[in-house]
Amino acid sequence: MRRAGSLVVVLFLVSMGSFLLTSLLPGDPAVAILGPAATPQSLAVVRHSLALDRPIPTQYATWIGRAATGNLGRSYQLEEQVTTVLARTLVVTVELVILAELLALLIGVPVGVWAAQRANQRFDKIASAVSFGALALPQFALAIALVLVFGVRLHWFPTIGFVHISDGLGANLRSMVLPTLTLAIPLAAFYTRVVRTDMVVTLRQPHIELARAMGYPTRRILVRHALRQSSLTLITVAGLQIGALLGGSLIVESIFALPGMGRLMIQRIGARDYTVVQGGVLVIATTYVLANFGADLLHSVLDPRLRHDPVSR
C-alpha cells in the first residue's frame, strides 16, 4: 500500500513535470496553430480556448483533471484527439520496446551467465570484447550498418516501414527485425556485462560452493541458485533500461520510418503541437515509472525477504 501511495505521488510529480516542461518550451502554440500572419484577435481566441491566458497552476489543474478521465485534449494541427494519435503510435513503440527487451535478455543473460562461469577464460574474453564494442557503437551507426548489410546488400529485411500485426504476424515481425536488432544489440551487451559481473560474485558465495560440493549439476547451480540471486540486479537494470529503450526509439523510429511515439514526439515538438507533446511525455513517463514499479514488485516475488524488510514497507 505504501508503495502504491508512493507511486501516486511519483505519478503526480511526473505529470506536473510533463506539463511544466512543455509549457516552458519557447514559442507560442497559438502562433504555431494559426501561423505567423495570424491577427492578434485570432491569436487571443486560440490562447483562450487552450487556456493559455490563465495562470500555469490553473492550466495544469484543468489539464490534469481532464487527463485523469482519459481526455488529453485535441491536437489542433492534426485535428484529432491526442489519445487517438498516441494510441496509433504507441502500438508501434510498445512492440518495438518489448521485442528489443526480450531479444536483449535472450542474448545477454545466457552469454553473461556463461561468461561468469568461464570467467577470464577465452569465451569470457571474447564476450567482453564484443560487449564493449557493441556498447561503444553509436545507435544510428549500427542502424545504418544493419540496413546496408541486411537490407541493401542481402535484401533479407525491409529497411523502412511498419506492417501492422493485423496484416500478418510474419510480415509484422519481418518489418521489426532491423529496428529491434538496433535497439537490442547494445542492450544485450549491457545485460551481458551486468549479469557476468554479478554472477562472478555470486558464484563465489558459500551456498554456491556448497551446491557444488553436493554434486549438483552446473546448469542447476547456475540457473536455480546463482542466476536467481543475480536476477535482482538484472530486473532493476532492465526496468531502468525501459527509459533508454524509449529514448532509443526516437532515433530508431526516425531511421526506419516507423510511425511510433518517438518519431511522433520529434515531429510534434517541431510543430509546437503542445497538447500532443504533453500527452506523449505523460504517457512515456508513466510507462517508465510503472515499469520500474513492476520491477520493484518482482523483487519481492523473487526474494521474499524483501517483503518483510521494514525499510521497504
Site size toward other proteins (CB under 8 A) is 42
* x/- map, 239-278, other proteins, by CB under 8 A: ---------------xxxx-x---xx-xx-xxxx------
Write out the DSSP string of the chain: -HHHHHHHHHHHHHHHHHHHHHHTSSS-HHHHHH-TT--HHHHHHHHHHTTTTS-HHHHHHHHHHHHHTT---EETTTTEEHHHHHHHHHHHHHHHHHHHHHHHHHHHHHHHHHHHHTTTSHHHHHHHHHHHHHHHS-HHHHHHHHIIIIIIIS--S-SS----GGG-HHHHHHHHHHHHHHHHHHHHHHHHHHHHHHHHHHTTSHHHHHHHHTT--HHHIIIIIIIHHHHHHHHHHHHHHHHHHHHHHHHHHHHTT--SHHHHHHHHHHTT-HHHHHHHHHHHHHHHHHHHHHHHHHHHHH-GGGGG-GGG-
Smallest distance from other proteins to CB 167, Å:
14
Stretch that binds other proteins, among 49-57, 75-83, 113-121, 184-192 (CB under 8 A): 75-83
Q: Should residue 179 be labelled a site residue for other proteins when binding is judged by CB under 8 A?
A: no
Q: Should residue 31 be labelled a site residue for other proteins when binding is judged by CB under 8 A?
A: yes
Q: Which of 151, 179, 248, 279: binder of other proteins (CB under 8 A)? A: 151
Stretch that binds other proteins, among 23-31, 221-229, 293-301, 304-312 (CB under 8 A): 23-31
Q: Should residue 40 be labelled a site residue for other proteins when binding is judged by CB under 8 A?
A: no
Q: Should residue 36 be labelled a site residue for other proteins when binding is judged by CB under 8 A?
A: yes
Q: Should residue 138 be labelled a site residue for other proteins when binding is judged by CB under 8 A?
A: no
Q: Should residue 160 be labelled a site residue for other proteins when binding is judged by CB under 8 A?
A: yes
Enumerate binding residues for other proteins (CB under 8 A).
26-27, 31-32, 34-39, 77-80, 85, 88-89, 143-144, 147-148, 151-152, 155, 158-162, 254-257, 259, 263-264, 266-267, 269-272
